[in-house]
Chain A
């Protein structure tokens, strides 16, 4: 196996194995796994609590509940009531955030390392004893409704994606947006939250990553004292719905006040970590990463048909969509831009990619891995992401070698396999006056 030098620590290049050994792990009696990476470069630390719950665990009627729940995790528990979580954390010098995706919910704390015990106390309180205050639910509902509105107001991508993904997917819960449908946002009940908490917020359904100016033994002590007493629950029901194979091209048009058309395409592709995953990441990179990429060169630079173009391959537990997005230059129609995008795709399917493009994409992946390990928060997010999406944080350190094995033929093969008309959904976002044309 090709050995890629990894992190430079104390002036020595570490092998992937040695770099992985910098991460220490232990599992609590309630089956919560903890990853610890000591890093004393600044007197700060971060905790990332990853929970295996996202909008894929929802059903119609409670779409968006995972994300709303994420907000409610800050609104009061047993020891620390409403508004106390943030008040206590900030007074100790800490800050926090959280994010929800289709697959996971992640709670992130950033703090001076002196506040480590306070963080464990706060987190254990809400993980063990979250409470739901009716008044806080209503106020938070308004917050999330505003978040929904501001996304629709300010992001054409969000707007078109919402409609397109619901067309591209017919069965799997990836079909609705993480924030949920507006009518569901306005209708959740306290009982929905309570049942969600009981089902998903079990220590055996989470992974904790601690990175920074901490000692392993101290983290162990605090995890045992604060988190271990929280009992494990019965594991949540698996998401068993499999998206049926798409049997023909799908198309849609949506309207919004835009100055030029936006075009989005989505192809069904397999889940993260599958056999074709690494070639697809390389294909994604060759298509749109950097100004020398295929799509940028053809559509933005030489063709001047688009003002911007990108592709997006989300990390996903289940089979997902590979997205293409471009915005028309003035005077260019959505049809023309779509044709331009398809020509780039077809050329890769027919002729493949060059060895230099392949190597460029691999070099970019390696540098991205370095950049994703620069800060405490990047390290924690990378480790937890690999632990959840690849089943093992060590895969992070093995990724350069995995990319190294991808061949030009692999890239052409996955392009030919997935980037087909029958597997495609095409969406146009057009200004209202073009309606009926």
Chain B
């Protein structure tokens, strides 16, 4: 099946599963004329420090659970891939269930259960029919509180992950962000590839998973959101009975001061990754972005909608619609807790590489020289408001939103005030936002393509650092 365009909002959030709540704003709304409101929910804390969110949604007889812990890849250190393997390891077996039993039982019920690490957090997500909750909750409890990290299952997964890391490099799209984040953030933890590097994964032992779990998966510092077809008072008791006796068995993981050690790139640089069989060049042009808690987070999304966040955005208009150079061109901010990245990404046939990149740079420049006019701003405001409600339409989306609110420290006022913030955008404010936040120089380029054909001209953008795609890591 072929589609007209890759979904722009999906691509914005796609890089890090657990970060989905952080890179897109959202709300769910009641249908009353223009009033945007997150459905009511209850938030409380268990005696052991676990934060619980409960939200009733009765449209389908299903329950969705989202659990969030601080067990993200920023804590990997030299064991690149540790957080990723630990999260997956939650499903390698528990005190009373083997891996095979967990999988057979969940599959039999048509339920879903997954555990994944992102850059800053790790999470567990489950969905199941209301009628099956008595079978699912006991398994979920053990996955969260009593994983046993079976050594044999670990070795199997580790071996497979090593092969997958090599296979991922067959597709530039799958790996270009790993190269970009490492190039932009250097050795700072925000440059860590979530799935790890072969060298790191090779070094991880099953005992490392046990230790990482003990430190990063603790009731205090974690949150669970349950959204679906239930009665809140009953579910409060269910969750309390289920997780009330979860206890920490080690000192909690310490998050280093992430505001330090982020490289400042005054000069443009180019990372040229040679893939000698490439048919096209996949590229990112980027610079430092913003943190998730930036007060101008929403205004920035409005401006980015115009630059590269929708089909008629300037980037897509120039590169795709007018010139036919690519299937899609996109820009966006990827936001972490204390810092983030801005990036423009696209791809084009090898021979049009520099035509496409030069055009993207022209568009970026136009943002500063030309600014935004009233009509375009109005259109972007309508667009971003009109496309918001479906982002938090389902119980699964809402559960993810609630745990994201917990970690990134915002509440429903952010959601419920979204429309007002967007409406408050003026041309002056938009242009001030551009001046303040949108980079002008010091671009960091990543090009994955056929170096024998594109290599000689890369130097026009800045100092060129060369790699081969089969080189270890990113």
Task: Give A contacts to B, CB under 8 Å.
Answer: 5, 7-9, 11, 13, 40-44, 67, 70-71, 74, 83, 86-87, 90-101, 110-112, 115, 138-147, 149-150, 152-156, 178-179, 213, 256-260, 289-293, 300-301, 304, 307, 327, 329-330, 356, 359-360, 363-368, 370-371, 373-377
Contacts and interface: CB of A to CB of B under 8 A. Distances in A.
Contacts of A11: 58
Contacts of A111: 386
A143 B393 CA distance: 32
Contacts of A145: 324, 349
Interface stretch (B117-125, B360-368, B377-385): B377-385
B102 to A, nearest CB: 9
Contact of A330 (B163, B279, B383): B163
Given A150-B173, A307-B167, 14 more contacts: A41-B59, A42-B393, A71-B4, A87-B379, A91-B383, A95-B387, A112-B386, A145-B349, A149-B349, A153-B172, A260-B167, A304-B156, A356-B108, A370-B61
Contact of B327 (A147, A152, A376): A147
Interface in B21-39: 28-29, 31, 34
Nearest to A290: B107
B178 interface: no
A46 B428 CA distance: 34
Most buried by A among B1, B160, B325, B348: B1
Contacts of A374: 59-60, 393-396
Contact of B60 (A7, A92, A98, A330): A7
B265 interface: no
B458 interface: no
A9 B174 CA distance: 40
B311 A257 contact: no
Contacts of A74: 4
A67 B279 contact: no
B310 interface: yes
Contacts of B127: 371
A8 B170 CA distance: 45
Contact of A360 (B28, B107, B164, B394): B107
A213 B5 CA distance: 25
A68 to B, nearest CB: 10
B312 to A, nearest CB: 5
B129 A367 contact: yes
Contact of B62 (A115, A139, A260, A370): A370
A146 B280 contact: yes
Interface stretch (B187-195, B315-323, B436-444): B315-323
Interface of B: 1-5, 7, 28-29, 31, 34, 58-62, 100, 103-104, 106-111, 127, 129, 156, 159-160, 162-164, 166-167, 169-174, 229, 276-280, 282, 310-312, 317, 320-327, 347-349, 378-379, 382-383, 385-387, 389-390, 393-396
Nearest to B156: A304
Per CB-CB distance, the 9 closest pairs between chain A and chain B, nearest first, are: A142-B324, A93-B386, A367-B110, A290-B107, A91-B379, A139-B324, A42-B389, A257-B277, A112-B386
B382 A92 contact: yes
Contacts, number: 218
Given A153-B172, A329-B160, A142 B323 contact: yes
Contact of A213 (B1, B31, B100): B31
A8 B34 CA distance: 26
A179 B160 CA distance: 33
B229 A8 contact: yes
B69 to A, nearest CB: 22
A67 B3 CA distance: 8
B249 to A, nearest CB: 28
Q: Is the interface of A mostly helix, strand, loop or mixed?
A: mixed
B163 A154 contact: no
B108 A360 contact: yes
B29 A92 contact: no
Contact of A329 (B163, B312, B349, B394): B163
B453 to A, nearest CB: 14
B388 to A, nearest CB: 9
B60 A95 contact: no
A144 B163 CA distance: 32
Contacts of B173: 150, 154
A155 B171 CA distance: 7
B393 A376 contact: yes
A149 B166 CA distance: 22
A99 B2 contact: yes
B60 A291 contact: no
A256 B277 contact: yes
A367 B112 CA distance: 10
B382 A67 contact: no
A92 B311 contact: no
Contacts of A259: 163, 166-167, 169-170
B107 A178 contact: no
B159 A304 contact: yes
A145 B378 CA distance: 33
Contact of A377 (B129, B160, B170, B390): B390
A43 B31 contact: yes
Contacts of B7: 97
Contacts of A376: 390, 393
A91 B382 contact: yes
A86 B311 CA distance: 7
A166 B461 CA distance: 44
A256 B50 CA distance: 50
29 contacts: A5-B61, A8-B229, A11-B58, A42-B31, A42-B393, A43-B389, A44-B386, A44-B389, A67-B2, A86-B311, A93-B383, A93-B385, A100-B2, A100-B3, A115-B386, A138-B324, A143-B321, A143-B326, A153-B347, A154-B174, A260-B163, A292-B103, A304-B156, A330-B166, A363-B108, A367-B109, A367-B110, A370-B61, A375-B394
Contact of A90 (B160, B172, B325, B379): B379
A13 B131 CA distance: 13
Contact of A92 (B1, B62, B277, B386): B386
Most buried by A among B162, B382, B386: B386
Given A42-B31, A44-B390, A375-B394, A13 B61 contact: yes
B379 A363 contact: no
Nearest to B128: A367
Contacts of A359: 108
B170 A257 contact: yes
B338 to A, nearest CB: 32
Contact of B61 (A8, A86, A99): A8
A370 B103 CA distance: 20
Contacts of A179: 2
Given A90-B312, A155-B171, A327-B167, A83 B347 contact: no
A7 B129 CA distance: 12
A219 B394 CA distance: 25
B1 A156 contact: no
Most buried by B among A150, A292, A360: A150
Nearest to B313: A90
B158 to A, nearest CB: 11
Contacts of B160: 300, 304, 307, 329
Contacts of A40: 31
A96 B383 CA distance: 11
A140 to B, nearest CB: 6
Contacts of A213: 31
Nearest to A13: B61
A146 B321 contact: no
Contacts of B322: 139
Contacts of A260: 163, 166-167
Contacts of A258: 167, 170
Contacts of B396: 374
